[in-house]
């Protein structure tokens, strides 16, 4: 419905959710997801998440 790949959304959502500010949780909803991913804060959190890097095959231990 929002043009989001479901498994990628869930992976990234679970990476962001623990450190995302509670008052801004609606930014993580599918309707806001594309705009949220454009935010530098979200990009930094995703890039720093080791579990995401492993899932994407970007971490040396993923080989």
pLDDT tens digit sequence for 14-63: 999 999 999 999 999 999 999 999 999 999 999 999 999 999 998 777 55
In a domain, residue 46? The reply is yes
Range of the domain at 7: 1-11+37-56
In a domain, residue 26? The reply is no
DSSP code, position 59? S
Q: What is the pLDDT of residue 1?
A: 74
Higher pLDDT among residues 62 and 7, named by residue: 7
In a domain, residue 32? The reply is no
In a domain, residue 41? The reply is yes
Q: What is the pLDDT of residue 40?
A: 97
In a domain, residue 49? The reply is yes
In a domain, residue 52? The reply is yes
Q: Residue with structure tokens 């806001």?
A: 32
In a domain, residue 31? The reply is no
Our count of domains for the chain comes to 1
Q: What is the pLDDT of residue 60?
A: 77
Closest CA relative to residue 49, chosen from 15, 20, 17: 15
pTM of the entire predicted model? 0.85
Contacts of 3 (CB under 8 A, 6+ apart): 34
Q: Are 53 and 32 in contact (CB under 8 A)?
A: no
In a domain, residue 22? The reply is no
């Amino acid at each position: 419905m929002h043009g989001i790949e479901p498994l990628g959304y869930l992976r990234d959502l679970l990476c962001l959710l623990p450190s995302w500010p509670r008052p801004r949780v609606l930014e993580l909803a599918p309707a806001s997801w594309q705009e949220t991913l454009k935010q530098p804060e979200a990009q930094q959190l995703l890039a720093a998440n080791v579990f995401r890097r492993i899932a994407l095959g970007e971490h040396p231990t993923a080989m």
